[in-house]
Structure 1
Amino acid sequence: MDSAKAEGFAESLVDLINKGALAVMISIGHQTGLFDRMAELKKFTSQSLADYSGLNERYVREWLKAMAAGKIIEWSSEPAEFYFPSEHAAFLTRKHGSDNMALYTQYIQVLASVEQSILSCFYQGGGVPYSAYERFHEVMAEDSRQTILAPLLDQILPLIPDLTQKLATGIEVMDIGCGRGKSMIKLAENFPNSRFMGIDLCAEPLESAREEVRRKNLTNIQFKQADLTAFRPAGKFELITAFDAVHDQARPDLVLRTVYESLNDEGHFLMQDIDGSEHLEKNLEHPFSPLLYTISTMHCMSVSLAQGGLGLGTLWGVEMANRMLREAGFTQIRENRLPHDPMNCYFIVRK
């Protein structure tokens, strides 16, 4: 055994455990708004930060120590105060929009909430249903606000020529796996002449979506709970969208066939999905591959298997996505990557 290699690996494990712990602390900082408040104060003590944030000082103090030990913030003893570098704030605060990476640490807690159930699956097979994941839809909705809602009008819609004009004139639009319906609600607000439908398997996020629609008094949008494996919508659509929703379906192949049959001859299917490969060797240098394979094991693969599905997993790959799209009947497939979203590929698909 190479003792130097063994020692180096042991050190890397210590680093990994420390960073895993910091991820939990960063999630707390995001959820409490502490990072946003620190960015406003720049320099602070635990008491001044707690007072400014309306939080308990003892917990804020201990959290700040973890942040200082992890070099997320800086500490000086003379005077005794903490400092939040602007270079770090740029990636940890809501102010900076799509650069805020703190929100993604929330997925660690979401996945950890089903750890024992996933462990049972290792022995018994099967999967864990969506309903078992605490805060899943809440975190996904926040993720969508950052990666989809903010660039939706200016960056995503222009991927399809003349789409904005068609939406303004009035077309039929369906979103599959819509969750809390944030993208459809934004489009319904901006394009009152078009009609929108959101479809999702789960009841809880749809209730949230309907409540927002009632609050905003929107009349050109509706939501329906349905299993896309068997559901066949009435009529044809000019635009069908799927934002990070296809790979964890029970049967992505059947869902894509439904999309094909539901699209009119001039329509477009806009599918945002993970930009990775079905081949492990091509993902080894992917900056997010450890995270994506973990999410796959703990969520995407499992929720599909829980429905008796294929369990393709998060990294089903752009290769398989292209094959399934063609097998569904599509002949025109264009891949797009956007600067704000290094995690996903945007497929523009036509018959």
Structure 2
Amino acid sequence: MSVDTEKLNGLLGTVVNELGAAANAALVLIGDKLNLFQALGEAPAGLTVSELAERTGMHERYLREWISAQAASGFVTYDEATERFSLSPEQKAVFADEDSPVLMTGGFHSLAAVFANEPRLARAFQAGHGIGWGDHCNCLFCGTERFFKPGYKAHLVSEWLPALDGVVERLDRGIRVADVGCGHGASTAIMAEAFPNSEFIGFDFHEASVEEARAKTRGIPNVRFEVARAQDYLGREFGLVTIFDALHDMGDPVGAVSHIRRTLSEDGTLMVVEPMAGRRLSENLHPVGRVYYAFSTNICVPASLGQEIGAALGAQAGEERLGEVIQAGGFSTVRKAVATPFNIVLEARP
């Protein structure tokens, strides 16, 4: 077969861009950890490298190379006339604003866990066994919270819960809510603070995450956390049960949904938030789909295969497959309540 030079050059350009992105990912993580992006965001007129070094207390030579990589990536703006670096409003929203709904730095924290786990994942490919959620380094759990929390803060109370039939009114009056697979408790805390008349219980099988959730939510009186699996957590007559970006990670999602059905009140609601995905592979071959497929290969599928049943739905299961799982677990109706470019929200009723 002859090589098409034009196609080859296009592919090489893509690969070079990918190599640069992968190499710079660790530098974005460092910039976030050392508050370098935040320092730039606090200087509207921008900073020279020496000014950034003085402001942050970091070594100037390292900073010059670091910030040059960010400028080449388009993550930082460089003014050649003044030799100053700055963040545009858009760059600040993505890299430096903790209240921004599009803050993306959490994903880079998770990448540290992905690369650290590569040898184990390669062995899992060969043997077919799973890799437990708790077998990853802690940066995965912190990164997961930081990646998903901005979206939850932006959409959960203002859009997702109101899209459910009558749920906000019941939360205002006061009901019991179970947040299953709660991780560090970001979703649980957001709901608890918004609805003080309701009681919120976060369940997760990862003990270290539950301990972190408890530490982060001290002072919120209507929330608590318990170590438990989705298939057998304790409690009954919950008016609302939520699962945020976790159903596809479960080894036995049907078993989990069946248990949720048994613990739900007859007029209760199950809300399932999952990554957005189309019905067919061809619909997911785009940048967001690539992120989800990559993290699913590294994290989600191994986590499910490491549990009983090992259904391995994957992060791109899609609305139809998720609906089948929920109905197999005993729910009579499932509907798409709302969707964003990153998430789909399903409402299920008994």
- When normalised by structure 1's length, the TM-score is 0.91
- The aligned residue for residue 58 of structure 1 is 61
Letter of the 2:54 partner, please give it: D
Structure-2 residue corresponding to 1:69: 72
Aligned residue identity for 2:348: V
Letter in 1 for 2:201: M
Distance 1:156 1:70, change over 3 A: same
What percentage of aligned pairs have identical amino acids? 28
1:232: Cα distance to partner? 4.8
Q: What is the match of residue 347 of structure 2?
A: 348
Residues 94 and 217 from structure 1, CA distance in 2 versus in 1: closer, same or farther, beyond 3 angstroms? closer
Residue 96 of structure 1: how far off its partner (Å): 5.9
Candidates 191, 202, 210, aligned match of 1:187: 191
The residue identity in structure 2 corresponding to 1:234 is: G
Contact kept, 8 Å, 2:103 with 2:147, in 1: the verdict is no
The answer on whether the counterparts of 1:36 and 1:95 sit within 8 Å (CA) in structure 2 is no
1:94-136: CA deviation from partner (whole Å, max 9, x where unpaired):
1561122333233322211211110111111212111222212
Residue of structure 1 equivalent to 2:215: 211
Residues 86, 160 of structure 1: alpha-carbon distance in 2 compared, 3 angstrom cutoff = closer
Equivalent of residue 86 in structure 1, options 83, 89, 92: 89
1:112 equivalent to 2:115? Answer: yes
- Label 1:43 to 1:211 Cα distance change in 2 as closer, same or farther (>3 A): closer
Say yes or no: does 1:160 pair with 2:145: no
Q: State the secondary structure of the residue aligned to 2:235.
A: coil
Residues 142 and 7 (structure 1), Cα distance of their counterparts in 2 relative to 1, 3 Å cut? closer
Following the alignment from structure 2 to structure 1, what is the Cα–Cα distance between the partners of residues 297 and 97? 29
Q: Deviations over 1:282-331 (max 9, x none)?
A: 222x4311111111110000011112422221112211101111222222
- Residue 223 of structure 1 and its aligned partner are, at CA, apart by 1.7
> 1 CA distance for matches of 2:50 and 2:274?
44
Residue number in structure 2 paired with 1:176:
180
Q: Distance in 2 between matches of 1:223 and 1:95?
A: 25
* Amino acid paired to 1:347: L
Query: Relative to structure 1, is the Cα distance of residues 7 and 152 closer, same or farther in structure 2, using a 3 angstrom cutoff?
Result: closer
Identify the residue that residue 293 of structure 2 maps to in structure 1: 293
Q: Give distance in 1, aligned partners of 2:11 and 2:190.
A: 48
* 196-205 vs 13-22, which moves further: 13-22
Give the whole-Å Cα distance in 2 for the aligned partners of 1:153 and 1:96.
15
Q: Is this contact kept in 1: 2:132–2:307, CA < 8 A? A: yes
How many residues align structurally? Answer: 345
2:230 aligned counterpart, secondary structure: coil
1:252 corresponding residue in structure 2? 253
Out of 142, 148, 155, which is 1:138 matched to? 142
Do the aligned partners of 2:110 and 2:142 also contact (CA within 8 Å) in 1? no
Q: Per the alignment, in what secondary structure is the counterpart of residue 28 of structure 2?
A: helix
Q: Which amino acid aligns with 2:128?
A: G
Q: 1 CA distance for matches of 2:318 and 2:265?
A: 27
Out of 13, 20, 24, the residue aligned to residue 22 of structure 1 is 24
Distance, in Å, in 2 between the alignment partners of 1:329 and 1:187 is: 26
Preserved contact between residue 104 and residue 147 of structure 2 (Cα < 8 Å): no
Deviation at 1:67, TM superposition (A): 1.4
**Quick one: structure 1 residues 306 and 3, their matched pair in 2 at CA, closer, same or farther if it must change by over 3 Å?**
same
Q: What RMSD over aligned residues (CA atoms) do the two structures have, in Å?
A: 2.1
Alignment gaps of 5+ in structure 1: none
Structure 1 window deviating more from structure 2 (52-61 vs 112-121): it is 52-61
How far 1:151 moved relative to its partner?
Answer: 3.0
Asked whether 1:122 is paired with 2:121, we answer no
Aligned residue in 2 for 1:303: 303
CA contact (8 A) 2:106 2:142 kept: no
Q: Which SS does the other structure have where 1:99 is aligned?
A: coil
